[in-house]
Amino acid sequence: MIVIGLTGSIGMGKSTTAGLFADEGVPVNDADKVVHELYRHKAVKPISEVFPDAVIDGIVDRQLLSRNLAKNPANFKILESIVHPLVRAREQAFLDLQRELETPIVVLDIPLLFETGGEARMDKIVVVSCAAEIQRQRVLSRPGMTPDKFETILSRQMPDAEKRARADYVINTGHGIDSARAQVKSILDELSKQAGPTNHA
């Protein structure tokens, strides 16, 4: 099984591009989605012990958590020490299942792939990227996003140029969906040849 790590800085188009891989029949494990799910179940108790104000009606409220983190960026470390091991366990369960199913190619969508030392677990790394100005416009147009929050998150991420330099493939998401889809297909065509006779489609 070929494990593709899909990453990129905030707003560069990870989720959208993950959807394009899924359209081609490739199973995707989305770390952000896993986090959001954990905030409704398994992570609630450990987070409520450290950030009691961020839990409402038995669910971790991401807006409240974000506000806390904006005021105290040092809390990111504490939060990550709770969340990342749980995310990793879900990733392992996903990989175990796909191996059992003999899936030829899978995608792990991991925002902090490089920052958390995930490189070694991947066979190939795909980085999504676009011009910084487009990235900024995309992120600031989201509800609840502020320039401060954007800067805080960016400062916790490896710079885009460094990510691109470490990638096996870079997908430019600045030229629209059709262009990104063509780039995804071309990567899968190349990797399918390496994965053997079972085609991904």
Ligand X SMILES: CC(C)(COP(=O)(O)OP(=O)(O)OC[C@H]1O[C@@H](n2cnc3c(N)ncnc32)[C@H](O)[C@@H]1O)[C@@H](O)C(=O)NCCC(=O)NCCS
Ligand Y SMILES: Nc1ncnc2c1ncn2[C@@H]1O[C@H](COP(=O)(O)OP(=O)(O)OP(=O)(O)O)[C@@H](O)[C@H]1O
Rule CB under 6 A: which residues touch ligand X? Answer: 10, 31-32, 35, 62, 65-66, 69, 76, 79-80, 83, 87, 111-112, 153, 156-157
Q: Which member of 2, 3, 10, 26 binds ligand Y (CB under 6 A)?
A: 10
Residue 67 tokens, joined: 């506000």
Nearest Cα neighbor of 130 from 30, 21, 8, 7 is 8
Q: Where are the beta strands (DSSP E) in 23-182?
A: 28-30, 55-56, 59-60, 105-109, 124-129, 169-172
Task: Give the pairing type, strands 169-172 and 124-129.
Answer: parallel
Q: Interacting stretch for ligand Y, rule CB under 6 A, among 13-21, 48-56, 72-80, 161-169?
A: 13-21
CB of 123 to ligand X, least distance (A): 20
Annotated binding-site residues for ATP read 11-16
Nearest Cα neighbor of 160 from 136, 137, 133, 127 is 127
CB of 57 to ligand Y, least distance (A): 25
The reply to whether 186 sits near ligand Y by the rule CB under 6 A is no
Q: Which member of 14, 124, 149, 200 binds ligand Y (CB under 6 A)?
A: 14
Rounded to whole angstroms, the Cα distance separating 165 from 2 reads 21
The interface partner of residue 180, options being ligand Y, ligand X, none and the CB cut-off 5 to 8 Å by kind, is ligand Y
CB of 159 to ligand X, least distance (A): 13
Q: What is the largest CA-CA distance in the chain?
A: 53
Which residues of this protein are in contact with ligand Y, per CB under 6 A?
8, 10-16, 32, 111, 138, 173, 176-177, 180
